[in-house]
Amino acid sequence: MSKFKSYHCSVCGAVYQPHEVTYTCPKDGGNLDVLLDYDAINKSLSPDKLIASREFSIWRYLPLLPVEDPGCYGTPLRSVGWTPLYQPVALAEELGLAHLWLKDDGRNPTASFKDRASAIMIARAREIKAEVVVTASTGNAGAALAGMAAAANHKAVIFAPKTAPPAKVAQLLVFGARVFLVDGNYDQAFDLTILAAQEFGWYCRNTGYNPFTAEGKKTAAFEIWEQVIYAGNLEKPLNVFVSVGDGNIISGMHKGFKDLQALGWLKYMPRLFGIQAEGSAAIANAFNKRNEEINPVKANTLADSISVDLPRDGLRALRAATQTDGSYITVSDNEILAAIARLGKEGIFAEPAASTAYAGLAKAVKEGIILPDDPVLVMITGSGLKDVKAAINSIQPAPIIEPTLEALKKALK
Ligand SMILES: *Cc1c(COP(=O)(O)O)cnc(C)c1O
Ligand SMILES: [Zn+2]
C-alpha cells in the first residue's frame, strides 16, 4: 500500500510504520493521523481527473484513502457519500447570507454521516482479515458499522447506552448485529468496548481511537471541495459548520482539507466552526479558555449523538477550529429543537445532533461572527427519522378532529 506512508501521533509527534500500531500512540494514547505519500498521489492524480470520476460515492476518493478497494459491488457499502447539496434561498435570505449551502448526510445508506467512517473501517477490516468488528456508539456509529458489516458479510458487535433512541437500536438489530445495551452512559460503553476488543480479538471501530474513522470522515471535506469550493471557484475561505461530540467529524474534515492543501489543490483553508450543545461542551470550554487541556463534563443534552462526557478526539477537534481561524459555539436544547423545525421548512429532516450545526449558524449570524458575504456550508449529519421523539417535541401536535367538514372548518379557524 504505497500511498499510506505512516502514522503521526497528534500529541507527541512520534511516527509509526503502518504495521507497528493499530489504534492509538503506545506512548501517550494520542490519536494517530494517517500520513499519505502526497508526491506519489500527485503524479497519478489531478483535480480534473478526480472530478471526471463516474463513481458517485466515497470510493471516488480511493487514491486519497489509506485502504484498497473493498469490492462489495452492488451493496450499500458502495453508495456511501456523494450526498446531496442544497442551496436554500429563503433560509439564506432570512439569515442575510449571500451564499449558503446545506449538505445532507442523513441521505447515507444508514441515514447518518457515520457511514463514511464505517465503510472505510470495513475496508480496513477486510485487509487485516478481521472477521468481527465492534464499536461503542450512541446509536449512529453502531448502525453504520452494523449496516456496512451486513453489506460486506462481517460480524458486528455493538455496545450502546440503554438510553439510545429506539429507532437507532432497531436499526442495529435489523442489520443483524450482536447488540448490548449498557446500563451506563456512552463513555462507559466506550471503555467496555476497548476491553472487550482486547479480550476477544475483535477489530474496534471506536471513534477517536481507531485512526481510520477520521480517514473515512475526511471524504466529506473532499466532496465539499469538489461540489462547492472547486466547482464555484470560491475566492475566500468557506465557513463550514459541524456539530461536535467526540470531535472526530470535525477533525476528520480538517484532515481532508489538509490533504487537499498538501496536494496543492486548495487555495483557501476553510474555517471550521464546531457547534456543541451547552450541556455537552467540553471542547468549546477549552476553546474559550484558549487551552489545549480538555476537561470532562457531565453531559446532559437531548442531542444524544453529541452527548459526551470526555471527547475522544478533543485535541484534534479543538485544533480544527484554532488552526483554521474558526471557532466553537454552544447552543441550548431549545435552540436545537427550533433548528429542527426551521430546517423542516426547507424540506430537510434532521435529528437533534444534526440541527445543532444550523442552530450554531443562526447564533453566529446574530452575533456577527459570520458576515453577510461569508460563504457558509452547514453539515446535516443525521436524519430526523433517527429520533422521532425529539422531532415531535420540536413542533406543535396535530389536532384530532371528527371526520366531518364542520369539524374541519372549526379547526381551520
Ligand atoms: C456522531 C455524530 C455527530 C458528532 O460527531 P463526533 O465525531 O462525535 O463529533 C454529529 N451528528 C450526528 C448525527 C452524529 O451521529
Ligand atoms: Zn504520542
Identify the residue whose cell numbers are 471513534.
207
Q: Are 234 and 336 members of one domain?
A: yes
Q: pLDDT 10s per residue in the chain (413 long)?
A: 568 999 999 999 999 999 999 999 999 999 999 999 999 999 999 999 999 999 999 999 999 999 999 999 999 999 999 999 999 999 999 999 999 999 999 999 999 999 999 999 999 999 999 999 999 998 899 999 999 999 999 999 999 999 988 999 999 999 999 999 999 999 999 999 999 999 999 999 999 999 999 999 999 999 999 999 998 888 899 999 999 999 999 999 999 999 999 999 999 999 999 999 999 999 999 999 998 999 999 999 999 999 999 999 999 999 999 999 999 999 999 999 999 999 999 999 999 999 999 999 999 999 999 999 999 999 999 999 999 999 999 999 999 999 999 999 999 99
- Residue 24 CB–ligand 1 contact under 6 Å: no
294 inside domain = yes
- Name the residue of 83, 108, 121, 140 whose CB sits within 8 Å of the most ligand 1 atoms, as the mutation to test its pocket: 140
Q: Quick one: pLDDT at residue 246?
A: 96
Nearest to 135 by CA among 151, 149, 153: 149
Q: Are 286 and 236 members of one domain?
A: yes
- Residue 248 CB–ligand 1 contact under 6 Å: yes
Q: Are 298 and 226 members of one domain?
A: yes
Q: Which ligand is nearest to the CA of 280?
A: 1
- Residue 246 CB–ligand 1 contact under 6 Å: yes
Grid cell, residue 132, equals 468481527
Write the CA distances from 194 to 11, 24, 117, 352, integer angstroms.
20, 12, 18, 28
Q: Quick one: pLDDT at residue 231?
A: 86
Q: Which domain holds residue 389?
A: 76-110+214-393
Q: Are 27 and 88 members of one domain?
A: no
Q: Are 101 and 9 members of one domain?
A: no
CATH code at position 287: 3.40.50.1100
Q: Are 20 and 89 members of one domain?
A: no
- Name the residue of 273, 305, 313, 340 whose CB sits within 8 Å of the most ligand 1 atoms, as the mutation to test its pocket: 305
- Name the residue of 105, 121, 246, 313 whose CB sits within 8 Å of the most ligand 1 atoms, as the mutation to test its pocket: 246
CB 274 within 8 A of CB 250: yes
379 inside domain = yes
Q: pTM score > 0.75 for this model? A: yes
Q: Are 30 and 99 members of one domain?
A: no
Instruction: Tell me how far the alpha carbon of residue 246 lies from the centroid of ligand 2, in angstroms.
Output: 19
Q: Quick one: pLDDT at residue 190?
A: 94
Q: Is residue 328 left, alpha or beta, with left meaning phi > 0 and alpha meaning psi from -120 to 50?
A: beta
- Residue 165 CB–ligand 1 contact under 6 Å: no
Alpha-carbon distance 32 to 174, whole Å? 33
384 inside domain = yes
The number of distinct structural domains making up the chain is: 2
Alpha-carbon distance 411 to 413, whole Å? 5
3-state secondary structure of 205: coil
Instruction: Tell me how far the alpha carbon of residue 397 lies from the centroid of ligand 2, in angstroms.
Output: 52
Radius of gyration of the chain, Cα coordinates, nearest whole angstrom:
21
- Residue 110 CB–ligand 1 contact under 6 Å: no
Q: Is 281 exposed, middle or buried (0-12, 13-18, 19+ CB in 10 A)?
A: buried
- Residue 81 CB–ligand 1 contact under 6 Å: no
53 inside domain = no
Write the CA distances from 187 to 116, 298, 304, 309, integer angstroms.
22, 11, 12, 7
- Residue 243 CB–ligand 1 contact under 6 Å: yes
Mark out the alpha helices in 37-104 (DSSP H runs).
38-44, 47-51, 89-95
Q: Are 357 and 255 members of one domain?
A: yes
Q: Are 31 and 80 members of one domain?
A: no
Q: Quick one: pLDDT at residue 232?
A: 85
Cα–Cα–Cα angle for 84, 324, 231, nearest 5°? 35
Write the CA distances from 108 to 118, 123, 220, 295, integer angstroms.
12, 17, 12, 33
Q: Are 285 and 387 members of one domain?
A: yes
CB 116 within 8 A of CB 217: yes
Q: Which ligand is nearest to the CA of 33?
A: 2
412 inside domain = no
* Chain centroid offset of residue 314 CA: 14
270 inside domain = yes
148 inside domain = no
Q: Are 315 and 234 members of one domain?
A: yes
281 inside domain = yes
Instruction: Tell me how far the alpha carbon of residue 307 lies from the centroid of ligand 1, in angstroms.
Output: 9
Alpha-carbon distance 164 to 177, whole Å? 15
- Name the residue of 381, 383, 386 whose CB sits within 8 Å of the most ligand 1 atoms, as the mutation to test its pocket: 381
